[in-house]
Structure 1
Amino acid sequence: MANTQMKPAAALLLFLNFCMYVIVLGIGAWSMNRAIDYGFIIGPGFKLPAHFSPIYFPMGNAATGFFVTFAMLAGVVGVASAIAGINHIRSWNASSLPSAASIAGVAWTFTLLAMGFACKEIELEIRNARLRTMEAFLIILTVTQLVYIAAIHGGA
């Protein structure tokens, strides 16, 4: 990879994406913890409520459970993408590109899926400020992850 002009841009996008994925994981972990602590409580007769859902979240709306689940998956794969990206940025050669590009593509796909659920959650309207923050971060991450993929391929 003789072209090193894209290396600073890729490194900046990698750092930005890493920070944003960690924030998404933090908010997602808070949401998951809150759902576990304040979700449906099964009484002594072990009767489930009429509209029981295993991904019920006490805050937000009907899309929140799917949104948080896929946002956390996107966050974990995004952090893994950043780790592979750091290795690629350090060596910046053709042999490290396939691993960085493939995991970045998988992270972008999960982020795109989570962004779809974020759009559905925005459409349904009832959500708190933390969920709005996570929605905004995932929408931004969808674009920046795609630009990062283009930047590391631009150095080829």
Structure 2
Amino acid sequence: MAGGLRSVAGLLLLLNFCMYAIVLGIGSWAMNRAIDHGFIIGPGLNLPAHFSPISFPMGNAATGFFVIFAMIAGVVGIAAAISGLNHLRRWDGGSLSAAATAATISWTLTCLAMGFGCKEIELNTRNARLKTMEAFMIILSATQLLYIAAIHGAASMSRI
């Protein structure tokens, strides 16, 4: 049974790695667009009263927070996948703690980004790329949790 959970964990790890890479790609596009087409003020002019450095030229008021936290979750998720790959290679208790800790931190950041994504969905003004990123974050919050359960389940099975 633990061997089956090991293959499930490997499949989830590969899926999560690819999805986090896609989230980073879309997030990088959104960040680049915000920097290139954001609010530009000339010399000698004052900032508007309600200026926010997190405002993005696309989406709505939650877009800036969503993109920033999704990118942080993506970077940490890829790092967790690298740690998880080491755990899959070794598959012992020493590597489990590092993989489980990294995966749990990644999952919590993913859930935080998913919360901003849900707020962005509620506010309803966004483009197709942001909708794709929101969907990926929602799916990643579930698959990352399943990955954590798989590596912990396999560890508890091997102790029996």
Give TM class, smaller chain: over 0.9
Matches of 1:8 and 1:121, distance apart in 2 = 35
Matches of 1:4 and 1:90, distance apart in 2 = 13
Shift in Å at residue 26 of structure 1?
0.2
Structure with bigger helix share is 2
Matches of 2:96 and 2:43, distance apart in 1 = 56
> What is the aligned partner in structure 2 of residue 53 from structure 1?
52
Deviations 1:64-106 (A, max 9, x none): 0000000000000000000000000001111100000000000
> What is the aligned partner in structure 2 of residue 23 from structure 1?
22
Matches of 1:48 and 1:39, distance apart in 2 = 13
**When the two structures are superposed, what TM-score results if normalisation uses the length of structure 2?**
0.95
Answering whether residue 108 of structure 2 is matched by residue 109 of structure 1, we say yes
Matches of 1:154 and 1:85, distance apart in 2 = 15
* Unmatched tracts of structure 2, length 5 or more: 156-160
Answering whether residue 10 of structure 2 is matched by residue 4 of structure 1, we say no
One-letter code aligned to 1:34: R
> What is the aligned partner in structure 2 of residue 144 from structure 1?
143
Q: Which runs of 4+ in 1 moved over 4 A?
A: none
Matches of 1:78 and 1:104, distance apart in 2 = 7
Shift in Å at residue 49 of structure 1?
2.3
Secondary structure at 2:7 match in 1: helix
Shift in Å at residue 3 of structure 1?
3.1
Matches of 2:119 and 2:43, distance apart in 1 = 36
> What is the aligned partner in structure 2 of residue 128 from structure 1?
127
Secondary structure at 1:153 match in 2: helix
**When the two structures are superposed, what TM-score results if normalisation uses the length of structure 1?**
0.97
Secondary structure at 1:8 match in 2: helix
Matches of 2:106 and 2:124, distance apart in 1 = 26
Number of residue pairs the alignment of both structures matches: 155
One-letter code aligned to 2:131: R
Matches of 1:21 and 1:69, distance apart in 2 = 14
Matches of 2:89 and 2:116, distance apart in 1 = 35
C-alpha RMSD of the superposition: 1.0
> What is the aligned partner in structure 1 of residue 36 from structure 2?
37
> What is the aligned partner in structure 1 of residue 158 from structure 2?
none
* Unmatched tracts of structure 1, length 5 or more: none
Shift in Å at residue 46 of structure 1?
3.6
> What is the aligned partner in structure 1 of residue 89 from structure 2?
90
Secondary structure at 1:145 match in 2: helix
Secondary structure at 1:96 match in 2: helix
